[in-house]
Amino acid sequence: MKCSSMSLAFLLGIATFSSVQAQQPVAISAQLEQKVIEWRRDLHQHPELSNREFRTAKVIAKHLKDLGLEVQTGIAHTGVVGVLVGGKPGPTIAMRADMDALPVIEQTDLPFKSTAKSEYRGKEVGVMHACGHDLHMAMLMGAAEKLTSMKDEVAGTIVFIFQPAEEGAPNDEEGGAELMLKEGLFTKHKPEVVFGIHVWSAGNTGHIGYREGPLMASSDRFEITVKGRQTHGSRPWGGVDPIVAAGQIIGSTQTIVSRQVNITKAPAVISFGIIEGGVRNNIIPDEVYLEGTIRNFDMDNRAQIFKNLKTTAEMTAKATGAEAHVHIDEGYPVTINDIDLTRNMLPTIERVAGKDKVHVNDLVTGAEDFSFFALEVPGLFVFLGVTPEGENAVSAPSNHSPFFYADEKSLKTGTELYVNWVLDYNKL
């Protein structure tokens, strides 16, 4: 059998590619896995709210310094960034874990459950890592240790981002990924790509959900103040009723998504969560306050919804003789996975988790401020299941529940995924 030089080169290329894909992923040792578990338990027992992650930051910074990394602290209040310069030339790659906990009283029976308390909006509250950020930090700490031990084999620069306030900064404060970028994170360390992992109860242990393009919704808060003119309830014609106007605004806004936005591009939701107005049954008040949320998966649709919400509220109120004043607090953008990056790193995900445990994820109407990083550079964000095998992940206590439980076996998968993303990206 004869082959041309071109055919031979093609066949050799296929063989080489197949060989790379067939390689076993780099694994962490049992000793490092146990360290990751211990870090997670310590962080779980000592949760801290957004922009108040003082102890958490100290624990992380000490670990990174002990590894010999360049460490920056105090970015976006309590953020920590570690930098590993590999032994070979290559790109800069960023990986991110969030640090903050939630104002939730833990109700699990874990021996390391949180009993921490703090102040939230002027009240004493329980504090719990009810969204799994303790796992995120522990996995990234483990990845930093493993990659540092392989420093000579690592190409390029690895930036380990430990980000505060993913759950949202306190009132009248800035925070999170947006503030880290504002303070120059990607100016000093501009990565070529950024990776992130989020644990969630909707998947079983070690299962990974990914999606090309939009994955998680944007999240925006709106306020509408409807101003009327107070009068006695027995003679409504003597004033302007903001309650009726507010009711009409609530109804009219539901047509924005159903009639004014091209939902074949992506779904969207406008929901009202607060309606406040009035002090007595027989007094029509001066004003009514409305507050709600907008969730959406397309940035152009998002801008259109903002515009239409303002117009709809103002014109509907005007028709009743009232006034509507609309304020939109732009929150987190759509979390978008870069399509090429996702496709290129999918083989890595399948090798680490096992092909049978990797699934295309449904769209998630929750939001993530990893989205700010992914707007700056190509990003890849995936979900890692933490509900034990054999248990129904659909009915398991969800993230943000006081009963949220994470199987620690998932920590090994997440840590190894971070490590292998770095190593395999440099083979592209």
Which residues are annotated as catalytic? 332, 408
Phi, psi of 215 (to 5 degrees): -120, -50
Instruction: Please state, as a whole number, how many other Cβ atoms lie within 10 Å of the Cβ of residue 356.
Output: 8
User: Is the Cα torsion angle 119, 120, 126, 129 positive or negative in sign?
Assistant: negative
Q: Which amino acid is at 145?
A: E
Helix or strand holding residue 384 (H, E) = strand 379-387
Place of tokens 């709106």: 222
Q: What secondary structure does DSSP assign to 17-45, as a single string?
A: HHHHHHSPPP---HHHHHHHHHHHHHHHH
Per the rule left: phi > 0, alpha: psi between -120 and 50, beta: everything else, 102 is: beta
Report in angstroms the alpha-carbon separations of 233 from 278, 310, 410.
11, 29, 60
Q: Of 348, 362, 355, 364, which is closest to residue 428 (Cα–Cα)?
A: 348
**Cβ-based neighbours of 149, under 8 Å, separated by 6 or more:** none
